[in-house]
């Protein structure tokens, strides 16, 4: 069976890959970490667009991907439309901050959003924000350096940055005007959930995009199969994961060992 291609600027997209493997346990995945050209969240749009298109082409033409998952909020904002135009025959699924679920969940009417500067500044995010319930107040916080600290598994830096940025958001809890729900607007941040939860307290709910993205991917693949008069039950099962990186192999290997179960070897690739 042709694989599902997944990519991110680094190791953060492994959080989405975790959810994809749970949702689609019999699928084969090819994951590309573009850590040689990261971080995306602090780079200009043209850089992220060019890198995303190069990786999409690689996954389709070198690995025969039958679907693409952009496991990066910044890349989704910058390049999802261009990727869909470049590969019109394929399902292309992006990641976006879970603003609507957060608004529905919040009882205090105040939602915090932690994201990269690039995501918060994007037209796509601003349009998403404007589409939300006006009775809910969203407090936005750019988290410069946090994705990089998670990328390098720097525990002290992760703790310090999480403390800094949550403090800037405001006060938390179930009382009126307190933040009771926080959206993790970068796939890297899912790997700092423990640190963030300790800082925010048990009354605050953290929401990331992994499960919704996996469910959307499953739905689109099922639709694609139906349109092609085929069933996933009739396809050869080739479950597994291939890991590729444009940066340091050790970084992705170490992250996969921490956060994935049963991943294969990590290989280096030069793209663009």
Annotation says 186 is catalytic = yes
Q: Is 131 exposed, middle or buried (0-12, 13-18, 19+ CB in 10 A)?
A: exposed
Q: DSSP assignment of 11-48, as one string?
A: STTHHHHHHHHHH-TT-EEEEEE-GGG--STTS-HHHH
Tokens standing for residue 157: 């830096």
Annotation says 143 is catalytic = no
Q: Is 125 exposed, middle or buried (0-12, 13-18, 19+ CB in 10 A)?
A: buried
Q: How many helices (H) and strands (E) does the chain have?
A: 11, 10
Nearest to 59 by CA among 112, 26, 13: 13
Which of 143, 162, 186, 261 is catalytic? The answer is 186
Q: Annotated catalytic sites, by residue?
A: 72, 186
């Amino acid at each position: 069976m042709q694989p599902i291609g997944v990519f991110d600027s680094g190791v953060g997209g492994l959080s989405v890959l975790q959810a994809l493997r749970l949702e689609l346990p019999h699928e084969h995945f090819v994951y590309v970490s573009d850590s040689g050209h990261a971080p995306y969240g602090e780079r200009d749009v043209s850089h992220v667009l060019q890198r995303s298109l190069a990786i999409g082409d690689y996954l389709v033409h070198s690995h025969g991907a039958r679907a693409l998952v952009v496991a990066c909020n910044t890349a989704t904002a910058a390049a999802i439309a261009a990727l869909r135009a470049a590969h019109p025959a394929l399902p292309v699924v992006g990641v976006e901050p879970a603003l609507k679920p957060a608004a529905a969940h919040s009882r205090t009417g105040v939602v915090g959003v932690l994201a990269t500067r690039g995501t918060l500044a994007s037209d796509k995010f601003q349009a998403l924000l404007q589409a939300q319930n006006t009775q809910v107040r969203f407090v936005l916080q750019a988290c410069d350096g946090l994705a990089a600290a998670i990328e390098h598994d720097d525990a002290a830096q992760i703790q310090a940055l999480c403390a800094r940025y949550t403090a800037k958001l405001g006060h938390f809890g179930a009382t009126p005007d307190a933040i009771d729900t926080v959206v993790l607007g970068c796939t890297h941040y899912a790997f700092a959930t423990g640190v963030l939860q300790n800082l925010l307290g048990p009354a605050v709910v953290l929401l990331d995009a992994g499960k919704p993205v996996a469910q959307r991917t499953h739905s689109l693949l099922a639709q694609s199969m139906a349109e092609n008069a085929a069933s996933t039950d009739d396809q050869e099962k080739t479950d597994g994961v291939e890991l590729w990186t444009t940066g340091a192999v050790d970084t992705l290997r170490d992250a996969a060992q921490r956060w994935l179960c049963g991943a294969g070897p990590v290989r280096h690739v030069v793209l663009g």
